[in-house]
C-alpha cells in the first residue's frame, strides 16, 4: 500500500512516501481504507521523538482520520464492510483500574494512533473496532 512514513526520528528529511505492507488485523479490529487524514501538531513531536517514545521504523504518522471498513475481525460485531466511519485515535488497555472505570484517557498503557501505533497517512489502517463511530449518510 502507499504510505507516508517516518524512517527515523528527525526532521522532514526522515519522512518518505512509498510502499509498505498492508496491515493485518486482530480479532477485535477492522481494516479501514483511509478516505481522510488530518495534519496534527502531534506529527511534529513524533517526528522529533523523545526518550520514552519507542517506535518501530518505518512508522506511519497521522492520528486523525476516517474511512470505509474494508475487512472485519472475527470477533467484531456492529460493523460491516462498506461502513463509513470516523475514528477515535485513543486506545487503552481495557484492564487497568482507569479503563475498568471508564476513564481510558488515564490508562496506564494509553496509546494514540499515529504515535504509538501506525496512523492514517496510508491507504489502510488497522483499528480497534471499539474506536469506530459510524458516520451518518448526510456527512
Confidence (pLDDT) at 38: 94
Cell of 124: 489502510
Report yes or no on 40 lying in a domain.
Answer: yes
Report yes or no on 94 lying in a domain.
Answer: yes
- Provide the b/e sequence for 3-32 (b: ≥16 CB within 10 Å): bbbbeeeeeeebeeeeebebbebeeebbbb
Confidence (pLDDT) at 137: 86
What is the enclosing helix (H) or strand (E) of 64? strand 64-72
What is the enclosing helix (H) or strand (E) of 132? strand 132-134
Tally the domains of the chain.
1
Alpha carbon 129 to chain centroid distance? 11
The Cα 50–Cα 40 span in angstroms is: 17
In this prediction the pTM is 0.91
Domain range for residue 16?
2-134
Report yes or no on 139 lying in a domain.
Answer: no
> Could you state, in chain order, the average pLDDT of each consecutive group of 10 residues for the chain (139 residues)?
96 96 98 96 89 89 97 98 96 92 88 92 97 92
Question: Is the torsion defined by CA of 86, 19, 118, 49 positive or negative?
Answer: negative
Confidence (pLDDT) at 51: 76
Confidence (pLDDT) at 65: 97
Confidence (pLDDT) at 52: 79
CATH number, position 101? 3.90.180.10
Confidence (pLDDT) at 105: 84
Q: How many CB atoms are closer than 10 A to CB 138? A: 4
Confidence (pLDDT) at 26: 97
Report helix, strand or coil for 14: helix
C-alpha angle with apex 32: 124 to 67, nearest 5 degrees? 105
Amino acid at each position: 500500500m502507499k504510505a507516508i512514513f517516518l524512517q527515523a526520528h528527525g526532521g522532514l528529511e526522515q519522512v518518505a512516501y512509498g510502499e509498505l505492507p498492508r496491515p493485518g488485523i486482530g480479532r477485535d479490529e477492522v481494516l479501514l481504507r483511509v478516505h481522510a487524514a488530518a495534519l496534527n501538531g502531534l506529527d511534529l513531536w513524533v517526528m522529533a521523538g523523545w526518550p520514552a517514545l519507542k517506535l518501530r521504523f518505518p512508522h506511519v504518522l497521522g492520528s486523525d482520520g476516517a474511512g470505509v471498513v474494508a475487512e472485519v475481525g472475527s470477533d467484531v460485531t456492529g460493523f460491516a464492510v462498506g461502513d463509513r466511519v470516523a475514528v477515535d485515535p485513543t486506545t487503552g488497555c481495557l484492564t487497568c483500574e482507569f479503563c475498568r472505570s471508564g476513564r481510558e484517557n488515564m490508562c496506564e498503557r494509553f496509546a494514540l494512533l499515529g504515535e504509538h501505533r501506525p496512523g492514517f497517512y496510508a491507504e489502510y489502517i488497522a483499528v480497534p473496532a471499539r474506536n469506530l463511530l459510524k458516520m451518518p449518510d448526510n456527512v
